[in-house]
Structure 1
Amino acid sequence: MSHVAVVYQTQYGATQRYAQWISEALHSDLYKLSDVNAQVLRKYSTIIFGGAIYASGIMGSKQISTYFSDLPDTKLIVFTVGLSNPKTTNYQSIINKNFNGALQKSISFFHLRGAIDYKKLNFLHRIMMFALKNKVKKSAHTSPETSLFLETYGKKIDFTDKESINLLVRQAESLI
């Protein structure tokens, strides 16, 4: 058994893809969040958790926070997956909303770029993306990222990149 568990919560698959790549690189165990509990995670010295970002919420963050609070000697790495470019986006407000300050101090965070296929979105996510599109169109502030959003709205786009896990993998290896 590995000393590392990669646990993920996904809606459309990009977070799962990253979790699988990370698990393969580290030769670790891989779990959907729904398939684990604190008892299972107790066996690991390092947990890597991945959750997709939706409307500034990180899927599964409350559940993994609860589990982690019961595992004081376990190291935690969190990766988020969203459409925003991690090189130009400040994620601190999202982290603050999803993890309390004390917990944040013991977590290494990584932000990875996801994918979207508008045809596969559920009704709520379609409405959210439509509202975001209208808000961006009305905004006086434009950026390369908002222009790209408007240009690709309604299409299938995939920003996932296997190379983007390298920093996270190196961080995990330093903890093992």
Structure 2
Amino acid sequence: MENKIAVIYKSKYGATKRYAGWIALKLDADLYEVSDIRRKDLKAYDTIIYGGPIYIGKIKGIKFIINNYEYIKDKKVSVFMVGMREFDEDYINSILENNIPKEVINNIKTFYFRGKMNYQELSLKDKILMTGLRVSISNKKQSDISNDEKMILEVIDKPIDYIDKKSIDILLNNVSSNG
């Protein structure tokens, strides 16, 4: 029996789209931007993979999975998030708890991949947010600044790219072993 797979994503600056494209290619899956797929389209798939960037503590576009969960709960569902922070299990768990209801979290597989940031490519709103964040971090004692905060201070002067194609292997293996 063939495992028909849909990879659905929401991307803000391109990192999530890149991961989604790689995943779809490796799994021979159909690829959709979240605005291009409807609930009725989900019936055709055995496996649904959703990817979204973490933006101000929210997984962009995750409402699509939550709002359609009743229609996909009997399918294999995975969610990958893309963020700038180093992997931190407590941070990832808090993002999940604040974005996805517990009954959904308990029935899906979740993955975290690191993204990229180029200050020059940011929208005006995001540049203002980053500048405010930078000011608040700059006011801290040097010894109190975390690695993630140091990255925020650096990104304004030089783009940072943590995208790693190999990081999708864990998701690919999970889908393959269950498919």
Which digits, 9 at most, give the CA deviation of each residue in 1:5-28, with x for residues without a partner? 110000111100000011111111
SS at 2:50's partner residue?
strand
Mapped partners of 1:120, 1:149: distance in 2: 15
- TM-score, length-normalised on structure 2? 0.91
Pick from 140, 151, 156 the counterpart of residue 159 of structure 2: 156
SS at 1:79's partner residue?
strand
Q: Structure 1 stretches of 5 or more lacking a match?
A: none
Q: How big is the shift at 1:88?
A: 7.1
Root-mean-square deviation (CA, aligned residues, Å) is 1.7
Change (3 A) 1:143 1:164: same
Residue 22 of structure 2 corresponds to which residue in structure 1? 21
CA contact 1:5–1:29 (8 Å) conserved in 2:
yes
Residue 149 of structure 2 corresponds to which residue in structure 1? 146
CA contact 1:38–1:67 (8 Å) conserved in 2:
yes
Pick from 149, 153, 170 the counterpart of residue 173 of structure 2: 170
Q: How big is the shift at 1:149?
A: 2.5
Q: In the alignment, residue 28 of structure 2 is paired with which amino acid?
A: H
Q: After alignment, is 131-140 or 39-48 more displaced?
A: 131-140
Q: After alignment, is 128-137 or 91-100 more displaced?
A: 128-137
Residue 129 of structure 2 corresponds to which residue in structure 1? 128
Q: Structure 2 stretches of 5 or more lacking a match?
A: none
CA contact 1:33–1:60 (8 Å) conserved in 2:
yes
Which digits, 9 at most, give the CA deviation of each residue in 1:107-131, with x for residues without a partner? 1111100011111111211122112
SS at 2:44's partner residue?
coil
Mapped partners of 1:89, 1:165: distance in 2: 21
Asked if 1:60 is matched to 2:61, the reply is yes
The count of corresponding residues between Structure 1 and Structure 2 is 176
CA contact 2:80–2:110 (8 Å) conserved in 1:
yes
CA contact 1:49–1:78 (8 Å) conserved in 2:
yes
Percent of paired sites with the same residue: 35
Q: How big is the shift at 1:148?
A: 2.8
Q: How big is the shift at 1:85?
A: 1.2
- TM-score, length-normalised on structure 1? 0.92
Q: In the alignment, residue 29 of structure 1 is paired with which amino acid?
A: D
Which digits, 9 at most, give the CA deviation of each residue in 1:45-86, with x for residues without a partner? 111100011100111011221122222211110000111112
